A and B are shown apart, each in its own frame.
Chain A
Amino acid sequence: MNKTVKIVMVEDDDGHARLIEKNIRRAGVSNEIVHLPDGGSALNFFFKTMGKANEKRSSPILVLLDLNLPDMTGVEVLQRLKADDELKTAPVIVLTTTDDKAEIQRCYDLGCNVYVTKPVDYDNFANAIRQLGLFFAVIQVPETPI
């Protein structure tokens, strides 16, 4: 996988974040993971830290997004991302406990690439994350957004 791709994980639950990271590492993915605990800091990271256009281009990102955030819904973050000309090409993987069909449909409609339900069954969960790792390995993150 492209070493320069940064994985941005927006997840309020530290435990979930840790488990996700563990399993990504187990899958053999060694990319940098940036953990952001809420919607505000996520938006801050996307539009302030990465604010300069050249940085947006030079460091492509992959977003792991939880829908249940304390300050706003993940859907809002997703909307903001997809509304940005530079960031809309970044792949977004929604990871949440909701298996509500309407919610899933809404995320896909807004442009999320993959929707993963966090199952209580840990083996399934670990499996899903590891497969994401494989997914990361084959995914082509655009170097320069159009």
Chain B
Amino acid sequence: MSNFAKDFIHLMQSAAPAFKNMTQTAGFGFRRTPLELQLLLAALFMLACLMAASFWLSQRNTAEREERLVVRNHVERLTMLEAYVRASESGQRGYLLTGDKAFRAAYDENFGQVRPLLDLIGAPFGETPEAKLLLDVRRQIDAKMQELADTVRVYEAGQREEAMALVRSGQGLRTMTAVETGIRNLRAEMQRRLYENQRTTEGLETALFYLNLFGAVLIVASASSASYLLWRSNLRLEAAQQELELSNDNLEQIVQERTRSLQEANEEIQRFAYIVSHDLRSPLVNIMGFTTELETLSKDLFPSIDGDAPDVVKPDQTRLREDFEEALGFIKSSIGKMDRLIGAILKISREGARPIRPETIDMDQLVAGIAASMQHQTQALGASIEVGPLPMVQSDRLALEQIFSNLLDNALKFLRPDQPGAIKVAARKIGKRVEFQVSDNGRGIAPGDKTRIFELFRRAGAQDRPGEGLGLAAVLTLVRRLGGTIRVESDIDAGATFYITIPQTWSDQTKWTM
């Protein structure tokens, strides 16, 4: 029991730091558990002690009871022994007086019972007071039995008078009294022992009673403290939950506010782009108009070579006219370029402002349709467009058409001339989103240009293909409008793969997750 307790204490001590660590790492909400845990462990430990003590007490009580039983048996046997000795004496006296064989038989029978019974009593006493008393009893009984046997032997040898004289000598009476005294003493000792035993048992039972009472009190106490702790932690949990709900509400509000301000900012940018591009066009109309007017005027300022005789046209006038026309040419081509750039900004700002109209779209059909519209170009280049199985999506048709048409157009535009072009469109589902892959084996994009290519008016690689640097900028704008993301994996001469991830079902909430 003490070993068990030591082990238990040791276990608790070694476990304590682990519990501390655990509760520390668990953080908020578990911060106060050590106290509760310690209380629980203490209660458990005390209950274990109580149980061990109770078990030990019960064991002792049982042992005492068994001993009492044995002693009682011996007391009974002592009484019987006395009776047998007396009956033997009675038989002997009767026989000596009457010579009747029936007395002799009674004497024999009782005499025979004495010794085995005496042996039975002898066994259980060690170095006790009873053992000494028992030895005394044994001696007295031996003497008595000897006296009885002697008188009967003398009588049966025919010396009846001598036998009677032996009886008359009072030796029989003396030995009988000695036997009775010995037995009484032994019985008294045994009674004393029984009494002591009884006292011990009563003490044990009282101890057990108080122990159990204490255990019950302890159980009630630990149960009520556990309930109290549970109630307290419940309260705390409830408070924490309320706090959490409150902060969740706050968070939602913050998100809504942010979203609103983002929306406003975006709308402002759209409006700004629209106004800028629109108002920039107005002076451009004037510049172009009056430049053309100037061109018309130049025909009057510098008479045509065809119209006049060569000798009339002065050489410096011809040079002037050429310079004039060159300047006008540059002005006009620059105006044209500026007009296209403004148009591009306008187009992208309109795309951004256009409301999304989600509908169920069979992407296989949509992409195959775009590929079919490019068939002429594809055949001329000796390339192929493979459209893998694509899922159905709930999104904006126009935006998706524009995205895939721009990407496929780019793929065709930047194929390598030394190998047949192979373009592939595939898709896979990632949770509630769909990732489309548009891959080609074309000239690829240098690692440093991977973000540049998505910027407005920027282009990468050899500038040997027509284009304004609008396609991918438009793709990026549209993908974001659909609540998606786009990235590219590529290297020089290693082809390019564009990954477009959009929500399978478009909703207002996903609009701003970029």
Measured CB to CB, the residues of A under 8 A from B are 13, 15-16, 19, 22, 68, 97-98, 100, 118-123, 125-126
Contacts and interface: CB of A to CB of B under 8 A. Distances in A.
A38 to B, nearest CB: 15
B339 interface: yes
Nearest to A20: B289
Contacts of B350: 100
B476 to A, nearest CB: 23
Contacts of A122: 288-289, 291-292
18 contacts: A13-B282, A13-B283, A13-B286, A15-B290, A16-B285, A16-B286, A16-B289, A19-B289, A68-B279, A68-B282, A97-B282, A97-B285, A119-B285, A120-B285, A120-B336, A121-B339, A122-B288, A122-B289
A125 B282 contact: no
Interface residues of B, number: 18
Contacts of B335: 120
Q: Which of B281, B283, B292, B336 has the most CB of A within 10 A?
A: B281
Nearest to A123: B292
B31 interface: no
B293 interface: yes
Contacts of B278: 68, 97-98
A120 B350 CA distance: 20
B284 interface: yes
A90 B15 CA distance: 98
A15 B292 contact: no
A122 B292 CA distance: 7
Complex A-B, nearest 7 residue pairs according to Cβ-Cβ distance, in ascending order: A15-B286, A122-B292, A120-B339, A19-B289, A97-B281, A122-B288, A122-B289
A16 B282 contact: yes
Nearest to B332: A122
B293 A125 contact: no
B289 to A, nearest CB: 4
Given A15-B289, A120-B281, 6 more contacts: A13-B286, A16-B286, A16-B289, A19-B290, A22-B293, A97-B281
B287 to A, nearest CB: 8
Contacts of A126: 292
Given A97-B278, A98-B278, A118 B292 contact: no
Contacts of B286: 13, 15-16, 19
Q: Which of B278, B286, B290 has the most CB of A within 10 A?
A: B286
Contacts of A97: 278, 281-282, 285
A75 B275 CA distance: 17
Nearest to A22: B293
Contact of B284 (A19, A22, A68, A120): A120
Contacts of B283: 13, 15
A126 B350 CA distance: 28
Q: Which of B278, B284, B285, B292 has the most CB of A within 10 A?
A: B285
A11 to B, nearest CB: 11
Contacts of A19: 285-286, 289-290, 293
Nearest to B275: A68
A140 B338 CA distance: 40
Nearest to B340: A120
Interface in B291-305: 291-293
B290 A120 contact: no
